[in-house]
Amino acid sequence: MVRAAVLPAVGSPLEITEIDLPEPGPGQVRVRLAAAGVCHSDLSLTNGTMRVPVPAVLGHEGAGTVVSVGEGVTHVAPGDGVVLNWAPACGKCHACTLGEVWLCADALTGAGAVYARRADDGSDLHPGLNVAAFAEETVVAENCVLPVPDGVPLTDAALLGCAVLTGYGAVHHSARVREGETVAVYGVGGVGLATIQAARIAGASKIIAVDVSPAKEELARTAGATDYVVASETTAREIRALTGKQGVDVAVECVGRAVTIRSAWESTRRGGRTTVVGIGGKDQQVTFNALELFHFGRTLSGCVYGNSDPAKDLPVLAGHVRAGRLDLSALVTEHIGLDGIPAAFDNMVAGKGGRALVVF
């Protein structure tokens, strides 16, 4: 038996309880977690913004050590450090054949399976977003684990599984920030901090961080922000003032709210790019008029999982870590245990801190 954070139903509080994990079957891997990041997507699962079968063990950003493997698993072995990949590509669907593995139609198929049971009543449990990282140990499909690259501490490696892949990919794959361009990043949470670091790595000449909390300015500047704007109704105007009245070349929205998406769009120069990373609910309606779409000539794009291919991008990210360009520990503002996850969710709703990291 292992301890885990279980979501009994949408809208219900998490329950920290013991679960029974089976031994890995063919094509499966059992992992002892070293750390797991508390991501806004986990919060979105609790409130129904995103939906997966429940009851479920949440958590999708994690890293740990392989305990055992099932029949046929050859790319990892017991004792190996691994990063969990919550959205494994099938390699066969239309998106995968186009090379757009981040849009794989079957990436979340595993979330519908029963992978464990509660120890107290024997009821079925699903692995929320495939990997169920909010647990001392988990059992996942072999394509949900990738070897931890050399030179990356195991605890820090957890952040590679979502926040860093998303933030780095938003800059380098979706927005394609070029050296010397100006960038605005809306939202200074874990993904926002990774986005700021990625913009710095890309050689952005000005990086403007935007958040509702004045207290996050130091975090943002440590990550590489050159300017900081406290979010308000005049945010877009302030950003234009900081960029010679033109607006930024690229705005990356990491919040998922209609008001911030609209502000990011308005802060982007004519012909610039606005990339939406934040996951918003269906009730968050963003409107544009036909004339402004023509006049500004901006590009507005969504960004799923940083438009990343984890197998290709993890070695690149590891290179930045080893060279000192990417500081994974700087994303973390709190180390907690499983019992601290509900409070981390509350802090997220209140706009406090960066990434909370569950350390086992």
Whether 164-305 and 2-161+327-359 are alike in CATH topology: the answer is no
Residue 277 clears pLDDT 90, i.e. is over it: yes
**Lookup: tokens for 21:** 């994990």
To the nearest whole percent, how much of the chain has pLDDT over 70?
100
Quick one: what percent of the chain has pLDDT higher than 90? 93
Q: Read off the pLDDT of residues 192-221 as tens digits, 9 standing for 90 and up.
A: 999 999 999 999 999 999 999 999 999 999
Report the distance separating Cα 98 and Cα 101, nearest Å.
8
Distance between CA atoms of residues 140 and 155, nearest Å: 19
Q: Hey, is 157 helix, strand or coil?
A: helix
Q: Which residues contact 95 (CB under 8 A, 6 or more apart)?
A: 101, 102, 103, 104, 105
More confident call, 51 vs 9? 9
Residue 235's pLDDT band (boundaries 50, 70, 90)?
Answer: very high
Within the chain, residue ranges assigned H as helices are: 40-47, 94-97, 154-157, 163-169, 190-202, 217-223, 235-241, 258-266, 290-296, 310-322, 341-349
Class at the top of the CATH hierarchy for domain 2-161+327-359: alpha beta
User: What are 214-223's pLDDT values in tens digits?
Assistant: 999 999 999 9
Structure confidence by residue, pLDDT tens digits, 320-349? 999 999 999 999 999 999 999 999 999 988
The per-residue pLDDT for 50 is 86
pLDDT of amino acid 331: 94
In this prediction, residue 263 carries a pLDDT of: 98
- Whether the per-residue pLDDT at 51 is higher than 90: the answer is no
| pLDDT, average across residues 303-329 | 95
Cis amide linkage into residue 55, ω under 30° from 0 = yes
Q: Which CATH superfamily groups domain 164-305?
A: NAD(P)-binding Rossmann-like Domain (3.40.50.720)
pLDDT band at 246 (very low <50, low <70, confident <90, very high): very high
pLDDT score recorded for residue 60: 96
pLDDT of 242 reads: 98
How large is the average pLDDT for residues 163-177?
97
Q: Domains of the chain: which residue ranges?
A: 2-161+327-359, 164-305
Summarised one tens digit per residue, pLDDT across range 64-98 is 999 999 999 999 999 999 999 999 999 999 999 99
Is residue 268 over pLDDT 90?
yes
